[in-house]
Structure 1
Amino acid sequence: MKKLLLFLIFTCFTTSGVFAADVKMNLNAIYGQNSFHTQGAMYFADLVEEYTDGSVDITVHPGGSLGFKGPELLKAVKDAQVPMSDILMGVVAGSEHVFGISSLPRLASSFDEAKELYEDTKPLYKEAAAKWNQKFLYAAPWPPSGLVTKNKVETAADIKNAKIRTYDKNGANFLRELGAAGISMPWGEVYSALRTGLIDGVLTSAESAKNGKFWEVLGHFNNINYAFPLNMVTINKDYWDSLSDEQQKAMLKAAAETEKHQWESSEAKTKEALNVIEENGIVISQPSEKFAEQMDAAAKVIVNNYLEDASSETEKVLEKYIK
Structure 2
Amino acid sequence: MRWLAAGFVVTGLVFGAGAALAQTSWEMPTEYPETAIPGEGVASFAGLVNERAGGRLTIKPSFDAKRGIKSAQMIAAVQKGEVAAGDAFAGALGAVDPLFGLSSLPFLATSIADARRLTDLARPAYAKKLAGFGQKILYTTPWPASGIWSKAPLDSAAALTGLSIRTYDATSTAVMNAAGAKAANLSFADAMPKVKDGSVVAVLSSGDGGAGRNLWDFLPNFTEVNYAMPISLATVNLAAYEALPADLRQIVDAAAKETEARQWTAIRTRLDENYARMRANKVAIRAEVPPDVAQALAKAGRGAVEDWRHRAGPDGAALLDQYEKK
TM-score range, shorter chain: 0.7 to 0.9
Q: For residue 43 of structure 1, what is the aligned residue in structure 2?
A: 44
The offset of 1:254, in angstroms, is: 0.8
Q: For residue 315 of structure 2, what is the aligned residue in structure 1?
A: 313
Q: For residue 304 of structure 2, what is the aligned residue in structure 1?
A: 302
8 Å CA contact retained: 2:91, 2:168: no
Classify 1:162/1:66 alpha carbon distance in 2 versus 1 (closer, same or farther; 3 Å). closer
Q: For residue 26 of structure 2, what is the aligned residue in structure 1?
A: 26
Classify 1:289/1:12 alpha carbon distance in 2 versus 1 (closer, same or farther; 3 Å). farther
Q: For residues 187-244 of structure 1, what are the alpha-carbon distances to aligned partners after superposition, in whole Å with 9 as ceiling and x for unaligned?
A: 1331441xxxx55533222234445666666564221121233222211111211223
8 Å CA contact retained: 2:90, 2:232: yes
Q: For residue 278 of structure 2, what is the aligned residue in structure 1?
A: 277
* Cα distance in 2, alignment partners of residues 7 and 29 from structure 1: 16
The offset of 1:22, in angstroms, is: 4.3
Higher mean Cα deviation, 24-33 or 104-113? Answer: 24-33
8 Å CA contact retained: 2:9, 2:25: no
Q: For residue 61 of structure 2, what is the aligned residue in structure 1?
A: 60
The offset of 1:311, in angstroms, is: 3.3
* Cα distance in 1, alignment partners of residues 249 and 54 from structure 2: 13
The offset of 1:174, in angstroms, is: 1.0
Question: Over aligned residue pairs, what C-alpha RMSD do you find?
Answer: 3.4
The offset of 1:2, in angstroms, is: 6.5
The offset of 1:103, in angstroms, is: 2.6
The offset of 1:92, in angstroms, is: 2.8
Question: Runs of 4+ in structure 1 displaced over 6 angstroms?
Answer: 10-13
Q: For residue 256 of structure 1, what is the aligned residue in structure 2?
A: 257
Classify 1:160/1:75 alpha carbon distance in 2 versus 1 (closer, same or farther; 3 Å). closer
* TM-score of the two chains, using structure 2 as the length reference: 0.81
> Structure 1: which amino acid aligns with 2:115?
A
Classify 1:42/1:223 alpha carbon distance in 2 versus 1 (closer, same or farther; 3 Å). same
Q: For residues 72-93 of structure 1, what are the alpha-carbon distances to aligned partners after superposition, in whole Å with 9 as ceiling and x for unaligned?
A: 4323322333222222223332
* Cα distance in 2, alignment partners of residues 214 and 81 from structure 1: 31
Q: For residues 124-180 of structure 1, what are the alpha-carbon distances to aligned partners after superposition, in whole Å with 9 as ceiling and x for unaligned?
A: 1111111111121111133322123423535x3443333333333322221122222
> Structure 2: which amino acid aligns with 1:167?
Y
Q: For residue 85 of structure 1, what is the aligned residue in structure 2?
A: 86
Classify 1:7/1:60 alpha carbon distance in 2 versus 1 (closer, same or farther; 3 Å). closer
* Cα distance in 2, alignment partners of residues 299 and 254 from structure 1: 37
8 Å CA contact retained: 1:45, 1:60: yes
The offset of 1:33, in angstroms, is: 5.5
* Cα distance in 2, alignment partners of residues 285 and 317 from structure 1: 31
Which residues of 2 match residues 1-323 of structure 1 at below 5 A?
Answer: 1=2, 3-4=4-5, 21-31=21-31, 34-36=34-36, 37-149=38-150, 150-153=152-155, 156-183=157-184, 186-193=191-198, 200-210=201-211, 220-279=221-280, 280=282, 282-287=284-289, 291-319=293-321, 320-321=323-324
Q: Secondary structure at the residue paired with 2:162?
A: coil
Higher mean Cα deviation, 55-64 or 100-109? Answer: 55-64
Higher mean Cα deviation, 158-167 or 172-181? Answer: 158-167
* Cα distance in 1, alignment partners of residues 254 and 245 from structure 2: 14
Q: Secondary structure at the residue paired with 2:95?
A: coil
Classify 1:199/1:39 alpha carbon distance in 2 versus 1 (closer, same or farther; 3 Å). closer
8 Å CA contact retained: 1:278, 1:284: no
Note the residue ranges of structure 1 that are not aligned, 5 or more in a row. 14-18
Q: Secondary structure at the residue paired with 2:26?
A: strand
Classify 1:100/1:11 alpha carbon distance in 2 versus 1 (closer, same or farther; 3 Å). farther
Note the residue ranges of structure 2 that are not aligned, 5 or more in a row. none
* Cα distance in 2, alignment partners of residues 29 and 59 from structure 1: 8
User: What percentage of aligned pairs have identical amino acids?
Assistant: 25
> Structure 2: which amino acid aligns with 1:101?
L
* TM-score of the two chains, using structure 1 as the length reference: 0.81
* Cα distance in 1, alignment partners of residues 182 and 9 from structure 2: 50
Q: Secondary structure at the residue paired with 1:92?
A: helix
> Structure 1: which amino acid aligns with 2:312?
A
* Cα distance in 2, alignment partners of residues 210 and 300 from structure 1: 29
8 Å CA contact retained: 1:20, 1:244: no
